[in-house]
Amino acid sequence: MADKANKEEVQVEDTATQNEATTKPQKEVSLKESNPEKFLADFNWHNYEEGIDPIDDGKLEEFEKLVAENFVDTLDDEVVEGKVVYITDRDAIIDINAKSEGVVSLNEFRYNPDLKVGDKVEVLIDVREDSTGQLILSHRKARTIKAWDRVNAAHDEATIVNGYVKCRTKGGMIVDVFGIEAFLPGSQIDVKPIRDYDVYVGKTMEFKVVKINHEFKNVVVSHKALIEADIEEQKKEIIGQLEKGQVLEGVVKNITSYGVFVDLGGVDGLVHITDLSWSRINHPNEIVELDQKLNVVILDFDEDKTRIQLGLKQLNAHPWEALGEELKVGDKVKGKVVVIADYGAFIEVAEGVEGLIHVSEMSWSTHLRSAQDFVNVGDEVEAVILTMDKEERKMSLGIKQMTPDPWTDITKKYPVGSRHKGIVRNFTNFGVFVELEEGIDGLIYISDLSWTKKIKHPSEFTNIGDELEVVVLELDVEGRKLSLGHKQTEENPWDKYEDEFAVGTKHTAKIDEVVDKGATVKFNDDIVAFVPGRHLEKEDGSMLKKGDEAEFQIIEFNKEFKKVVASHMSIHKEEEAKIVKEAVKKQAASADEAKPTLGDANAKLQELKDKMDGKK
């Protein structure tokens, strides 16, 4: 490299010599020849002894001027421009007008496979002089420094930059901008949702630098920001022209469970699921698909026109208007069950035309059940039109009318006193509903379940689904009510108990339970008598206890209320009881004789009145 400096020096000297030859054709006489004494006096013996050749000051100044103009100061870490002068298998030789050429690894030019001799490149002096005296340059560092300057300038000035989409990453893409890896969030790729990120990999696109983190050297770019700027202009133009009833073309941008968002060219509108089709649908994707072009009508929008309500079905006439005039109440129609609720089912009899079958119109039974007990979604059913209002677009249907009403001949099938078997369908606190056949339900009151058992709730006696034998007790044809009885299927055992346990009869049994104010005695499965506390007294004056067996006398029997009262004390105090009873009768008779008559009372009153009047 020193040779190059020597060459430059010789070139400078040759140039000076040629210039002198041009201006001074005659050879100049040296000081040594013209004045030897002065030459010896001014001679620099130190330079001569050290071997230093003297250089003319003018030539030295000229040389320094050339160096300043052409050579790079390698002491400063500044980015300089160099020229590719040679390319090897591994390196590129770069001339930066320094004392020697620099070397840059070809790996730093991988982004530029077309690099060739003569190209201008930016480099940074990495090592001024290595162990071999070689100048080491870095194109990558220079490119990074310049890239940060450019990125910051693009951010500050809001200019558009080009970037190369390198690959996908979590949440977005990695973009090469000026050699810096910038992050492109998925939400900033386009104004519409992106379903396939891979289509952008390998593309060169325009971006806007939206955020820079200097601490972590992070850069965020956006392609959406460029699109939004154009869309904003289109949006203002479209919004200014919006009118209700206007038909516009749009593209399906997004599909949700409640509706479809349509891009009208920068302005989004919502088609609610109920405005997609006159027919009932479960999800909007049954009607439309993403990126589909379609015409929609503007139904409404707010004052700022930021919320636009669109309709698709309104482009076609309502199906009710297409119904024939010949369709009338009483006609039979076929339809498909589209929705089931607790109160009934909706049947689509034509596209967009639905009728309601109320649960009460699904069965002749007065015992109401859920609609799911009769039909399922998707079932094909036949029904009768019960009511129809074309203006209100309402229709009620019935399927029970497809079969004869079982109550038409109810008096013949279920006369009072007849016996039948039915299925227990439901309980209430006061009785049991029994179904004799489809549409014929009857009620057994809790008091008509058993002659002898005291039942608090029907579930103590039977279960839903059990078969019971019943007797028709009452029949109300107009009210469509049947009163049934179960205990009437057997003889009333209390009829024979009325004689067997008549007042005064005696029976032997054990004390079953000691209860409040007395005890109970179980004579059989049906007869449980109550013994008052004082009637538990034995002949020796002690009281009967639980488990004691004794003889009891019936002192009260009530068949209607199934009440039986017994006494043990009356057995051994029967004679005393007779004496007391006779004494009570005599006392009552004496009292009756001593009672004044109505005439006697009037006489006494008259006598008192006369005394007060002074007559006596």
Q: Which residue has the higher pLDDT, 132 or 540?
A: 540
Q: Which residue has the higher pLDDT, 594 or 382?
A: 382
pLDDT of residue 6: 43
Q: Give the pLDDT band (50/70/90) at residue 386.
A: very high
Q: Which residue has the higher pLDDT, 496 or 427?
A: 427
Q: What distance separates the 2 farthest-apart alpha carbons in the chain?
A: 206
Q: Give the pLDDT band (50/70/90) at residue 45.
A: low
Residue 7 has pLDDT above 50, yes or no: no
Cα first-last separation, the chain: 178
pLDDT of residue 519: 92
Q: Which of 104-113, 273-282, 328-337, 397-406 has the lowest mean pLDDT?
A: 104-113
**Type of residue numbered 219:** V
pLDDT of residue 592: 61
Number of H helices, E strands in the chain: 12, 30
DSSP 25-60: -SPPPPHHHH-HHHHHHH--HHHHHHTPPP--HHHH
pLDDT of residue 392: 83
Query: In the predicted model, what is the mean pLDDT of residues 488-507?
Result: 83
Q: Residue 382 forms beta bridges with which residues?
A: 334
Which pair of tokens denotes residue 476? 């109300």
Q: Which residue has the higher pLDDT, 500 or 55?
A: 500
Distance CA 143, CA 122 (A): 7
Is residue 172 within 8 A of residue 129, CB to CB? The reply is no
Is residue 190 within 8 A of residue 224, CB to CB? The reply is yes
Query: In the predicted model, what is the mean pLDDT of residues 298-314?
Result: 80
Residue 1 has pLDDT above 70, yes or no: no
**Type of residue numbered 428:** T
Residue 591 has pLDDT above 50, yes or no: yes
pLDDT of residue 30: 60
pLDDT of residue 306: 66
Distances (CA, A) of 441 to 113, 366, 432, 436, 470: 93, 7, 10, 6, 12
Q: Residue by residue, what is the 3-state secondary structure of 455-479?
A: CCCHHHCCCCCCEEEEEEEEEECCC
- Tell me phi and psi for residue 448, to 5 degrees: -105, 15
Residue 97 has pLDDT above 70, yes or no: yes
Reported as a single tens digit per residue, the pLDDT across 152-190 is 888 888 888 888 898 988 888 898 888 788 898 888 888
Distance CA 275, CA 260 (A): 10
Burial class (CB in 10 A: 0-12, 13-18, 19+), 214: exposed
Could you tell me what percent of the chain has a pLDDT over 90?
11
Q: Residue 296 forms beta bridges with which residues?
A: 248
Let me know the angle formed at the C-alpha of 146 by 143 and 147, rounded to the nearest 5 degrees. Answer: 80
Q: Give the pLDDT band (50/70/90) at residue 8.
A: very low
Which pair of tokens denotes residue 141? 């560092």
Reference 286, options 321, 312, 319; nearest CA is 312
Q: Which of 20-29, 47-56, 84-93, 483-492 has the lowest mean pLDDT?
A: 20-29
Q: Which residue has the higher pLDDT, 578 or 536?
A: 536
Quick one: angle between helices 57-70 and 2-23, nearest 10?
Answer: 120
pLDDT of residue 26: 52
Domains and CATH numbers, the chain: 79-144 (2.40.50.140), 158-229 (2.40.50.140), 242-311 (2.40.50.140), 319-401 (2.40.50.140), 406-485 (2.40.50.140), 493-582 (2.40.50.140)
pLDDT of residue 61: 66
Distance CA 518, CA 194 (A): 88
pLDDT of residue 260: 92
pLDDT of residue 269: 87
294 three-state secondary structure = strand
Q: Which of 342-351, 453-462, 606-615 has the lowest mean pLDDT?
A: 606-615
Average pLDDT, the chain: 79
Q: Which of 87-101, 232-246, 417-431 has the highest mean pLDDT?
A: 417-431
pLDDT of residue 114: 84
Give the predicted TM-score (pTM) of the model.
0.41
pLDDT of residue 520: 92
